[in-house]
Amino acid sequence: MDRMIQPPLVDTTACLCRVDAGLKTVAGAKRYVPGTKLCLQPDIKPSIHPTRSKATRGDRSRNQSPLLPGLPDDLAIACLIRVPRVEHRKLRLVCKRWYRLLSGNFFYSLRKSLGIAEEWIYVIKRDRDGKISWHAFDPVYQLWQPLPPVPKEYSEAFGFGCAVLSGCHLYLFGGKDPLKGSMRRVIFYSARTNKWHRAPDMLRRRHFFGSCVINNCLYVAGGENEGVHRSLRSAEVYDRNKNRWSYISDMSTAMVPFIGVVYEGKWFLKGLGPHQQVMSEVYQPETDNWYPVYNGMVAGWRNPCTSLNGHLYALECKDGCKLRVYDEVTDSWGKHIDSRIHLGNSRALEAAALIPLNRKLCIIRNNMSVSLVDVTKSDDLRGATAEHLWETIAGKGLGSVAEASWYLLECDGVEDPAALSKSKDRIHH
């Protein structure tokens, strides 16, 4: 056990739901646990001041064995929260009390508050036959784990969106089924349950659209459908707290986006207009307005990019072995961070995504290799090479891949229980 981290103080006589924001009462917490009528409290037995009164039949039913034999439950929880995330699936199988503990916000809010939360990378892999599958990569232990098969309607779909909400739910939405055409369907994978669930459908059918997450709300815009007007101007947002979609302002012009990024609270999109012209727009959620943008940031922006610590980074070359940094003062893409080890321009080596991971930039390629760049030390280079800032944490791990996309999912994120899908909407595989 890490001696630098103080064990959490748990009132063993109180309901654990009270620790979670939004869970004000035990009665109000019951509906937030799918598939059970029990509260998030894992039936913790008082260990300091045991009651001497005669227990009723209901009390006896709640007095179960301790979480860990020989330890009070508060100390048992202090031990369990330090178990690496890669073992959490096994912990849920031990007993019902452990399952309920690891299914609620309390367990993961403790891990997050103590700074021991773990971020994993989730990849969608499309094989040579067009079938897709999902895999998770643990960057600490450098292990791959398969996810449950996606629902049938997404097994061969293309042009759909992917996003992470609440740090522990991976959403798939929209896209085009080879037989049924454009879809409104929305599903999500929960890292807590290791299962796929249904969510409310989008308002419009669309594929090849843009999407982003701002303030834990999912935005989609543009794209195509099979209607008379193939390119779309419409945009909508999914509020997880309300568990519903609603329209936002239309884009200035119909667009099929091919790249996008959230920077300084605004959503930048770049894509092709109705006449195949390149165009760029930016959306401001505060004012619900779109407007064209022609500055140096979008003019020199062609490859995946992301923001980290207030700076905007983009890939410079096809294999992602060189980074550029956007300079707001000069409105241009300036300093290069070069690994000096370039892999080539083949489709297999193409960089599929650039995402922040543990305060570093993570570059993932279609050959399933993963590289990290410590950009926090790049300011000290003064034009020197930066090979020592780069490290490879994973080589090819999943065999032959036709196409890959990557997303960051922290199972240790604290979800909003008000938006949990009901158990009857769960998709079983």
- Domains of the chain, start order: 16-115 (1.20.1280.50), 120-418 (2.120.10.80)
- pLDDT tens string 95-107: 989 988 888 778 8
- pLDDT number for residue 269: 94
Instruction: Return d(Cα 355, Cα 375) in angstroms, integer.
Output: 12
51: CB partners within 8 A, 6+ apart: none
Instruction: Return d(Cα 370, Cα 366) in angstroms, integer.
Output: 10
Instruction: Return d(Cα 315, Cα 363) in angstroms, integer.
Output: 9
Helix (H, G, I), strand (E, B) or coil at 10: coil
- pLDDT tens string 396-427: 555 444 344 555 444 444 344 333 333 223 22
- pLDDT number for residue 268: 94
- pLDDT tens string 344-354: 778 778 888 88
**Token pair belonging to 235:** 């945009």
**37 phi and psi, to 5 degrees?**
-100, 5
- pLDDT number for residue 19: 33
| List of the chain residues with pLDDT < 50 | 1-55, 57, 60-61, 381-384, 399-404, 408-429
Task: Supply the pTM of this predicted model.
Answer: 0.76
Contact criterion met (CB below 8 Å) for 391 and 372 = yes
What DSSP string runs through 301-338? --S-EEEETTEEEEE-STTS-EEEEEETTTTEEEEEEE
* Residue from 117, 124, 108, 107 nearest 163 by CA: 124
**Token pair belonging to 373:** 């760049």
- pLDDT number for residue 63: 64
Amino acid identity of 308? L
DSSP tag of 423 = G
- pLDDT number for residue 56: 52
